Amino acid sequence: MVNQPRGPDGRWIKYKYGAGALVTTGVVVAATNGIGGGAATSLDSAASQALKGKISSKKSAQKGRHSEAWQRLGWRGLKKQAKRELKCGPHSFGEVQRFLLRHPCVDLDRMLVTVDDGAGNTIDVSVAWVKMPKAGEASDLKRLIDKDGTGNVLLFGEAPPGSRFTGENYDSRLAKKLVVIAEAAPATGRPSETTLETAVEVAVEFPAP
């Protein structure tokens, strides 16, 4: 087994499909060689504030407080759509679809939100909650989805697969019989990779609608 590193929040740093890119949910630390002491202190302070905002945002998300979660990042929710399905097989693709046809889910909730990052950009964040009959099946499903090139549940607002949500900004969460999947993509402007990663790290904490 590979000795896989953990991020600052204790989660495993994950790899996910999409354009052959290596995706992590950890914090990127920039080298400060050649940067003056004052500048380095300023960067440390900004990073600390960003981390505090993310932590408090996740706590709000866990309580289902959508607007508050985005506001704690200095962002604003613009619109939200949600839909429930009783079958997962028709709304998935790749190996994940084959798994869900063999092991039908209990239900599938999907949500698409658009947020303003306060820097002139908007981001689409799609979240799926897959409820399985057994915790073991949920664990197997998450393990499969987290692998590179295995497919996924069709996210709300995605057609055909991978046209908008490519897996480059992705996170997932396991909660007993529930698997939560979140992906983000730019809607307008050019949000940074850090912004897109933050969006999915917060969104994956939301309870099912």
Residue 164 domain-assigned? yes
Model pLDDT, residue 118: 93
pLDDT tens-digit readout, 143-155 = 999 998 999 999 9
Domain that includes residue 150, residue range: 37-203
- What is the overall mean pLDDT for the chain? 83
Question: What amino acid is encoded at 167 in this protein?
Answer: G
Beta bridge partners of 108: 85, 130
Residue 15 domain-assigned? no
Residue 28 domain-assigned? no
Residues with Cβ within 8 Å of residue 105, at least 6 apart in sequence: 87, 88, 130, 131, 132, 133
Residue 72 domain-assigned? yes
Residue 11 domain-assigned? no
Instruction: Tell me what the mean pLDDT of segment 8-17 comes to.
Output: 48
Residue 12 domain-assigned? no
pTM of structure: 0.78
Residue 55 domain-assigned? yes
Q: What angle do CA 170, 197, 171 make, to 5 degrees?
A: 30
Instruction: Tell me what the mean pLDDT of segment 132-149 comes to.
Output: 97
Counting the structural domains of the chain, the total is 1
Beta-strand (E) ranges in 104-195? 107-116, 122-131, 152-153, 170-175, 178-188
Residue 123 domain-assigned? yes
Model pLDDT, residue 46: 56
- Is the pLDDT at 109 greater than 90? The verdict is yes
